[in-house]
Structure 1
Amino acid sequence: MSDTYILGPARIALGDGSLTHGRIAVERGRIARILSEDGHSDLQPPDGALVAPGLIDVHTNGADEFLFNRDQGNAVEVASRAYARQGATGYLAGIMTAPWESMMHAAAEVSEAANELVEKGDPIGARCLGIHFEGPFLNPKFRRVHRGEWILPATMERAQEMVEACRGALVLVTMAPEADGVDEVARFFYDQGIVCSAGHTAAHYREGMLAIGLGFRTVTHAFNAMPPLDHRDPSILAAFIQESRTTVQLICDGYHVSPPMVDLLYRTLHDRLVLTTDNMPPAGSGYRIEGGVVRAEDGTIAGSALLMDQAVRNLMAYADIPFETAIVSATRSPARLLNLDRELGTIEAGKRADLSVWSDEYQVLATIVGGLPVFGGAHLYWPSKASA
């Protein structure tokens, strides 16, 4: 189909917390304008449907049975199709701590595969928006499933090699702010426009404020792989909650963080909360899904089985907020975190037509990337001439 049409009428969650009713004019893959409900439509969602921006996951390790570390470039197409089924139009490919050369090779292969999909033209699913390195500059005491022998001190040489391996696609790096060499490396990444995230860290409040001063702008998987938010000696999380320049990433599965704490975190942060999945396909005999999370053989939580659309529904339930409010933490908030909010995250004239279509029961019906349906196109239909 064409990437120029009028979609609607439908309820439209704009991505800024508000809800309107109308139609969306799409021209050459971008949002041209929002129209009133009445008038001609080329493409109609079912009755009662909602249209929202496409979801964005900034922390995922793969999809289905494919891991970016292990399957590298082969995982990109699988992840793109899988994320489209969740209503997501973008994601970062996460490279976890591994032998250094293996990490660099995986990053290069993922970047190349993502570029090849772009060069082919019409999208097949969600876009890979870049690379997220989770490690290897971590605190061994909070390494969790990241193997200790692969954790390294940060150096400028390694930082530059990371940038070069990603071929311009390095977007996010999770580091422990207190790890050796991170001060200099964080400043380097900040100057390069690469987002630094605090994670797998033993840092407390004071170190957190210092990290923010160095350019850290977000924290990875709140409450997990860090000290508890103690009332006498608060962890690094307190600094990122308090500082208005930052965001906090949350795995909203109800297991990594209990529902009451999700509610408390949302009440404090509102649109500074970023929903992520930390999705870890249970690939290999050493991992299993148990109790809603993915665990290693010794029982350590390795990641989540969460999907992005479920994260939105969970936030709605745990924080008792409507869809148009919850969707912000999966659309505009991650777009701002990645400095992509001029292109993505809200339904506004001039932005990419990256959209998700939901039923009145908040199930994903269709996903549109660059104006083209990449999932659930059968749920969108061309009105008859009589109804048009």
Structure 2
Amino acid sequence: MKTYYIKADRFLLENRTITNKYLQIEDSKFGSFVDQPPANSEVADWSGYTIAPGLFDTHIHGIKGNDVMDGSKQAIKNISKELLKIGVTRFLPTTLTASTEDLNQAVAAVAEAVDEGLPGAQSEGIYLEGPYFTETHKGAQNPVYFKDPSYEEFQQWQQRSNNQIVKIALAPERKGAKEFIRKMTLEGIKVSLGHTNASYDCCREAVDAGADIFVHLFNGMKGLHHREPGVVGAACTLQHTFAELICDGHHVHPVVASMVAQMKKEQLVLITDCMRAGLMPDGVYQLGEFPVHMENGMARTETGSLAGSTLQLVHGVKNLQAWTQMPLYEIWHRASLSPAKSLHKENKLGSIAPGKLADYVVLDNQLEVHAAAIEGEVKYQQKHE
């Protein structure tokens, strides 16, 4: 792999912004910053632009007419390609609650697509959202398929996925959930809590068993009450847990999102929960087995429940930065480094630091993505007239 240098007005680092430097890219990884590269070095000149680490969407179902539940390797490749154009360099293809057969097909399709090679954003493993949920907070998940956790069933999906499942979401009040969480944790599978009506104590016990992520905070869960902290209270107060947040202004009020950003700090993970209507015009789309109506960018089921989102992760960063007035570099890393930390991948992904994979995006002052690179290779560049 070649060595080259990036010239840019500023670089977003974990704890600060660096200006007017050159960043070395060597053997697909980030190197050090220099004032001037060696003579005759190759330089990628992005003067007037900002370089930021690639975004990492750990909860995304689909985009631009494609969905993981299509059970098609081409759909996964299309999602990968479209995500790179909006600054996402890593993602977790995310399933929905569905029949065993449909989930078999979905995870196998992801495995096939990854094996053949993805053209854009790279998969860091499959995220099973369900089917071990509770009907009280079903959201856009189909309760027909809800059930208690089964280790044997999970093993079948894991086998069909070629061992690519890295994360699973469940309701901790389901029978056998605590033991299931312990088994998952021992196998290195991350466990998220969501679509749940669990008490604070139940959540705490689940966290003690190994669960340490809360699915799209405030949505699909028991809320905060002054005499029963519930799932939200557990997510906001239990140490060493991560909380997902959808910052589209619809799922969570900006004031509440800002409050959570102050409370969770580096353990806040910005996600999209985007479905196939993302980057598409208003209309009727399918989410699993449910028709979803999108109007003004907001997707709802026929019963009125929010059905995923159409959010771009870079817009979530932009929104939260505007709501909190926190430094851009700090909010940006909630969508790159924090997701990597939630999966124990922070040593190789999530920030511009020597030795990490050189996933980066080129941004203008409006945070529009002009180029994106995977492991140092520019795979997307906006066409300029």
- Quickly name the TM-score band, shorter chain normalised: over 0.9
CA RMSD of aligned residues (A): 1.7
> Is the contact between residue 69 and residue 96 of structure 2 (CA under 8 Å) also seen in structure 1?
yes
> 3-state SS of the aligned residue for 1:101?
helix
Residue of structure 2 aligned with 1:171, choices 166, 174, 177: 166
Equivalent AA in structure 2 for residue 43 of structure 1: V
Residue of structure 1 aligned with 2:153, choices 153, 158, 164: 158
Q: Does 1:215 align with 2:215?
A: no
The separation in 2 between residues aligned to 1:117 and 1:338, in whole angstroms, is 22
1:136-147 equivalent positions in 2, closer than 5 A: 136-147=131-142
The separation in 2 between residues aligned to 1:37 and 1:236, in whole angstroms, is 52
Equivalent AA in structure 2 for residue 206 of structure 1: D
> Is the contact between residue 163 and residue 170 of structure 1 (CA under 8 Å) also seen in structure 2?
yes
Residue 240 of structure 1, CA deviation: 2.2
1:242 aligned residue: 237
> Is the contact between residue 270 and residue 335 of structure 2 (CA under 8 Å) also seen in structure 1?
yes
> How many aligned residue pairs are there?
372
Residue 244 of structure 1, CA deviation: 2.2
> 3-state SS of the aligned residue for 1:239?
helix
Summarize deviations over 1:32-89 as a string: whole Å, max 9, x none. Answer: 2222367666333443311111000000001110111024322111111111111111
1:1-388 equivalent positions in 2, closer than 5 A: 3-14=2-13, 16-21=14-19, 22-36=21-35, 42-117=42-117, 124-282=119-277, 283-284=285-286, 286-376=291-381
1:383 aligned residue: none
The separation in 2 between residues aligned to 1:36 and 1:172, in whole angstroms, is 42
> 3-state SS of the aligned residue for 2:136?
helix
> 3-state SS of the aligned residue for 2:175?
coil
* TM-score, with structure 2 as normaliser: 0.92
Distance verdict in 2 for CA 1:235–1:288, change over 3 Å:
same
Q: Which runs of 5+ in 1 are unaligned?
A: 119-123, 380-388
Residue 187 of structure 1, CA deviation: 0.9
Equivalent AA in structure 1 for residue 62 of structure 2: G
Equivalent AA in structure 2 for residue 223 of structure 1: F
> Is the contact between residue 49 and residue 364 of structure 2 (CA under 8 Å) also seen in structure 1?
yes
The separation in 2 between residues aligned to 1:292 and 1:203, in whole angstroms, is 31
Equivalent AA in structure 1 for residue 175 of structure 2: D
Residue 167 of structure 1, CA deviation: 1.1
After TM superposition, the runs of 4+ consecutive aligned structure 1 residues lying more than 4 A away are 37-41
The separation in 1 between residues aligned to 2:126 and 2:2, in whole angstroms, is 28
> Is the contact between residue 7 and residue 25 of structure 1 (CA under 8 Å) also seen in structure 2?
yes
Residue 28 of structure 1, CA deviation: 2.0
The separation in 1 between residues aligned to 2:117 and 2:37, in whole angstroms, is 37
> 3-state SS of the aligned residue for 1:254?
coil
> 3-state SS of the aligned residue for 1:47?
strand
Q: Which runs of 5+ in 2 are unaligned?
A: 278-284
Equivalent AA in structure 2 for residue 26 of structure 1: I
Residue 377 of structure 1, CA deviation: 6.2
Equivalent AA in structure 1 for residue 331 of structure 2: A
The separation in 2 between residues aligned to 1:327 and 1:214, in whole angstroms, is 31
Equivalent AA in structure 2 for residue 264 of structure 1: M
> 3-state SS of the aligned residue for 1:134?
strand
> Is the contact between residue 253 and residue 311 of structure 1 (CA under 8 Å) also seen in structure 2?
yes
Residue 319 of structure 1, CA deviation: 1.3
Equivalent AA in structure 2 for residue 17 of structure 1: N
Q: Percent identity?
A: 29
The separation in 1 between residues aligned to 2:106 and 2:2, in whole angstroms, is 33
Q: Which moved more, 1:28-37 or 1:313-322?
A: 28-37
The separation in 1 between residues aligned to 2:219 and 2:262, in whole angstroms, is 19
The separation in 1 between residues aligned to 2:319 and 2:10, in whole angstroms, is 21
Residue 135 of structure 1, CA deviation: 0.4
